[in-house]
Amino acid sequence: MKKILLSFVILTTPIAAQAAGFALIEQSASGMGNAFAGGGAVAEDASTVFFNPAGMTYIQGTEIVGAIHLIKPSAEFNDRGSVKAIGFPAKGGNGGDAADLAFVPNFYYKRDLTDNIKFGLGVNVPFGLKTEYDPTWIGRFQAVKSELKTININPAIAFKVNDQLSLGAGISAMWAQAELTRAVNRVTAPESTVKVKGDDWGFGVNLGAIYQATADTRIGLAYRSKVNQHLEGDASFGAALAAGNGKITADVTLPENLSVSVFSQINDKWDLMGDVTWTRWSQFQELKILRTSGALLQRTPENWENTLRYSIGANYHYSATIKLRAGLAYDQEAINDQFRTARIPGNDRKWLALGANWKMSPNSSFDIGYAHLFISDASINDIQNNPADPIVANRTYNGNLSGAYDGNVNILSAQYTHNF
């Protein structure tokens, strides 16, 4: 287990969230080609452990799935009248591209316990984020590096009630680690730095049901619960402020979501699917970091909003061994323009996805998927030329960051599936 966790930590560094907030929907390459449309009803392979565990009743025998996603996001800040921090002699640059290349893995296993009861295991990365600016940029007193890593271990079980109804349930054991850095403006003395870093294990559940409405159409309902993380770690200041070093805590709630999915086989050549997913991001109202004494170290208002994601997709069965995929999605962002920060400068996304499945043999197949995400320009007007949180005795003034972000994402995914 330690080797598995180490492998996932290595592969998920760096990482950038590609769904709303800091969620990652990249949980299979087979779903990528359809922009994950109908994810809770397709039940095509063992990745259904994540999307809807009830789907395991549609998979025969023992199956393993391994997938890797190559994600290349871009997020570039364009200054539109930012005000330098008080006491800061030079304005600084725009920070470069705050996003970076990421590798996100998934692994799934499924086997039959009886004809009607199935067991599965998923190891994946449901949340993740990394933004990192040049250390001398204009907004360095607000943010330099922001990183969240997660690893989710998700055993699940499914039960076929009858020919129409299947139910599923799973448990999530999720490890999370967060790291935040920025420069500290001391106004009358050389600037310094601060880094806070902490981790924790949290637990949740995922539930699902699939109803076979007709011989060719099924409807899926899936729910993943929130996971509360009580992060514990350290605050580390630069040498000039080393007296401020110490233990810290921060509570983060990774939100629940609910999805309704439909999959329909129109004829021998065409499948259609669709999906609507609701995520409760409104629980993320502030980011508050405390010393273990209870003293406030930093508070950032977030005021996020609940989101909806809509997707549609289609498969074309080109031959007995080749299946072509396409999909479109619209993914709302949780961040209100008024409260956008340099740490998470996201906005609404539009997905265009293509993919293909090649049945290599009766027991194995290979999937490839590609998606381009068009991200709406994200304006920011973060005013911090006020006394900031009292992390040093003479208080700090961090500048007003005003401008907009240009962004897009390209994702390439590959997956191997084998049945025993």
Q: Measured at the alpha carbon of residue 90, what is the angle toward residues 86 and 92, in degrees to the nearest 5?
A: 105
Average the pLDDT over each of 169-178, 212-221, 251-260, 332-341 and give the range with the smallest value.
332-341
Whether residue 3 is predicted with pLDDT greater than 60 in this model: the reply is no
What are the backbone angles phi and psi of residue 43, rounded to the nearest 5°? 50, 45
50-73 pLDDT, tens digit per residue, is 999 999 999 999 999 999 999 999
Sequence-ordered strand ranges (E) for 185-321: 192-212, 217-224, 227-237, 246-254, 257-265, 270-279, 286-291, 296-301, 307-317
Query: Which two tokens mark 310?
Result: 């809509």
Counting every residue, how long is the chain?
A: 420
Q: Is the pTM of this model over 0.95?
A: no
> Cα(277)–Cα(256) distance, rounded to whole angstroms?
11
pLDDT tier for residue 418 given thresholds of 50, 70 and 90: very high
Half-sphere exposure of 412 (CA within 13 A, CB side): 3
Mean of the pLDDT values across residues 347-352?
Answer: 95
Q: Nearest to residue 19, comparing CAs of 30, 8, 32?
A: 32
* Of residues 314 and 284, more confidently modeled: 314
Q: What is the mean pLDDT of the chain?
A: 89
Three-class secondary structure of residue 378 per DSSP: strand
Task: List 291's β-bridge partners, or say none.
Answer: 248
What are the backbone angles phi and psi of residue 286, rounded to the nearest 5°? -160, 155
Whether residue 82 is predicted with pLDDT greater than 70 in this model: the reply is yes
Q: Nearest to residue 42, comparing CAs of 216, 263, 211, 209?
A: 263
Which residue intervals of 112-257 are DSSP H helices?
Answer: none
Residue type for 332, please? Answer: Q
* Of residues 155 and 184, more confidently modeled: 155
- pLDDT of amino acid 358: 97
CATH placement of domain 2-419: 2.40.160.60
Sequence-ordered strand ranges (E) for 23-164: 63-79, 102-112, 117-124, 129-132, 145-160
Asked if 208 contacts 221 with a C-beta cutoff of 8 angstroms, the reply is yes
Domain edges within the chain: 2-419
- For the chain, give the percent of residues with pLDDT over 90: 71
107-138 pLDDT, tens digit per residue, is 999 999 999 999 999 999 999 989 999 999 99
Q: Say if residue 14 is preceded by a cis peptide, omega within 30 of 0.
A: yes
332-349 pLDDT, tens digit per residue, is 999 988 889 999 988 999
